[in-house]
Amino acid sequence: MKINVSAFGEVAGEVVNAFTLSNDNGMSVTLLNYGGIIKEIQVPNAEGELVSCVQSYNTLQDYIDDPSYRGAIVGRYANRIGHGTFTLNGVQYALDKNGGEHNLHGGLAGFHKKVWAAKTQESDDKVSVTFTLTSPDGEGGFPGTVNVEACYSLNQDNELCLVITANTDQETPLSFTQHAYFTLSNDAKVGNTLLYIDAEKVTDADTTLLPTGDLVDVANTPFDFTTLTAIKQSAEQINSHPLFDRVGGYDHNYVLRNAPEHSPQAIVKALDTGITMALFTNLPGLQFYTGGLKSDDQLGALCLEPQHFPDAPNKPEFPNCFVKPGETFTASMRYKFSAYY
């Protein structure tokens, strides 16, 4: 187990480093303290050949210019808050409207564009990097000064773990996610990749992808991944759904079931490379994103974003997303990689 640290660039005079975590199996993960970004995940297949499992850029400027949150930690609030506003304790808060008419992924001052402080730790069974930052009261329109710690670790079981904790001095909504674009397959399109999601429902949404408050059963719709299924098989089935047709692909929040502790919330399997990824999380929702699937110009990757439900600050029927002073918010995500013949 080891960590290699190298300079990757500067942002406004602040140094950005690349932290490469490696285990004894040949797996490595490269992280940036800009945006808490996962830049690379390299996993050996059954023949020992390395498979690149996320989309990445070569330069820091590419990440600075990137509008798609590629590989980054997202906060203060992942996904959408309707019409850029919410009311808490009788006070209405106005947020950045950076996603059409809505607040998206924390607004213009989101965590994905921050330079985080970093410290490393090595041991025989795992290596880790802990990123920290403070989001001041009023940033993006949100109340409260929020202190955030994001710890990435890699162990000998080929597990990449991310645990994000936060506390606040005022009650505030929090929802953090990791926005990696996974490419376990070498295919230019994700249709042949197999997917399982432990969810029987998705949140309904309007034409702007804002939840209506209703839930949609996934059975007999393109959203059904309750068994390991090729993405294009679900997407192209005869029983479509208006919620799917609005996107022409996937950009939807899955309502995760309360699974047993050691059961994954999602599994991704690439038949051509033999790489499988199991995702475990303590969060109630999972945004599955592919972008449009009906054109030749496809994303070629998929995102699985553990999160609180979109627009939960405005929908009390959704799982609670508010954190009070004295409480610790914890978002846990574990990605277990394996290879098969």
Catalytic residue among 102, 105, 112, 179: 179
3-state class of 243 per DSSP? helix
Residue 143 pLDDT exceeds 70: yes
260-279 pLDDT, tens digit per residue, is 778 999 999 999 999 999 99
Residue 320, Cβ neighbours under 10 Å: how many?
A: 11
pLDDT at 109: 85
Instruction: Kindly report the average pLDDT of the chain as a whole number.
Output: 95
179 catalytic residue (yes or no): yes
User: Residue 46: pLDDT above 70?
Assistant: yes
* Residue 73 predicted with pLDDT over 90: yes
pLDDT at position 249 is 87
| Candidate list 305, 308, 317, 327, residue with the active-site label | 305
Q: Which residues of 162-190 are buried (b: 16+ CB within 10 A; e: fewer)?
A: bbbbbbbeeebbbbbbbbbbbbbbeeebb
pLDDT for 260 equals 73
Q: What is the mean pLDDT of residues 305-324?
A: 98
> pLDDT by residue (tens digit) across 189-206?
999 999 999 999 999 999
Domain regions of the chain by residue span: 2-339
Residue 193 CB: number of other CB atoms within 10 A? 24
What is the per-residue pLDDT across 74-89, written as a single tens digit (0 to 9) for each? 999 999 999 999 999 9
Amino acid at 247: V
Any catalytic annotation for residue 308? no
pLDDT of residue 341: 67
Hey, which CATH number is domain 2-339, 1.20.1420.20, 2.40.128.110, 3.40.50.410, 2.70.98.10?
A: 2.70.98.10
Q: Per-residue confidence at 259, pLDDT binned at 50, 70, 90?
A: confident
Predicted local confidence at residue 297, as pLDDT: 61
Does 252 score more than 90 pLDDT?
yes
Average confidence (pLDDT) over 113-124: 96
What pairing do the DSSP bridges indicate for beta strands 14-22 and 2-11? antiparallel
DSSP 138-175: TGGG--S-EEEEEEEEEETTSEEEEEEEEEESS-EE-B
